[in-house]
Structure 1
Amino acid sequence: MTLTLPNNVHHQHNESFNHLLTSLRSRNIKPADVRSLVREMTTFLSKSVHLHTTPDETLAVIVILRSGLAMFDGFMDSLPQNLPTAVYHLGIFRDPTTLQPVEYYNKLPLKPAQIKQAVILDPLIATGGTAAAVVGILKDWGLEQVTFLSMLSTPAGLSHAGGVWPEGSQFVVGSVDSQVDEKGYIQPGVGDIGDRLFGTVF
Structure 2
Amino acid sequence: MHIHNLSEENSILNTFIAEIRSKTIQTDRMRFRRNIERIGEILSYEMSKTEPYETTAVETPLGTSKTALLHDNMVLCSVLRAGIPLHYGILNYFDKAENAFISAYRHHEGDSEEFEIIVEYLACPDLTNKTLILADPMLATGQSMVSTFAALKPYGTPKAIHLMSVIGAKEGIDFVAKAFPENTHLWIATVDETLNSKGYIVPGLGDAGDLSFGEKLQK
TM-score calculated relative to the size of structure 2: 0.78
Matched-pair contact (CA < 8 Å) for 1:60–1:117: yes
Matches of 2:191 and 2:153 in 1, distance apart? Answer: 25
- Are 2:138 and 1:124 equivalent residues in the alignment? yes
Q: Which residue pairs with 2:38 in the alignment?
A: 40
Q: CA 1:61–1:39 in structure 2 vs 1: closer, same or farther (change >3 Å)?
A: same
Which of the pair has more CA radius of gyration? 2
Gaps of 5+ in 2: 55-69
1:91 aligns with 2:107: no
CA contact (8 A) 2:117 2:144 kept: yes
User: Aligned equivalents of 2:44 and 2:162: distance in 1?
Assistant: 11
- Contact conserved, 1:177 with 1:189, CA < 8 A, in 2? yes
Q: Tell me how far 1:99 sits from its aligned partner.
A: 2.7
Q: Which amino acid counterpart does residue 121 of structure 2 have in structure 1?
A: Y
SS at match of 1:182: coil
Shift of the alpha carbon at 1:168?
Answer: 4.2
Cα distance in 2 for partners of 1:200, 1:88 equals: 24
- Residue number in structure 2 paired with 1:174: 189
SS in 2 for 1:15: coil
Greater RCO, CA 8 A, separation 6+: 1
Which deviates further from its counterpart, 139-148 or 153-162? 139-148
Which structure has more strand as a fraction of its residues? 2
Q: Deviations over 1:59-93 (max 9, x none)?
A: 111011011111122111222x6xx4211101111
Matches within 5 A, 1:32-71: 32-49=30-47, 50-52=50-52, 58-71=73-86
Maintained 8 Å contact 1:135/1:164: no
Per-residue deviation, residues 76-130 of structure 1 (Å, max 9, x unmatched): 1222x6xx42111011112234232111112335x265x5221112111001110
Q: Structure 1 residues 94, 51: CA separation in 2 closer, same or farther (over 3 Å shift)? A: farther
Deviation above 4 Å: which 4+ runs of structure 1? 53-57
What stretches of structure 1 of length at least 5 have no aligned partner? 1-6
CA contact (8 A) 2:52 2:71 kept: no
| Number of aligned positions between the proteins | 191
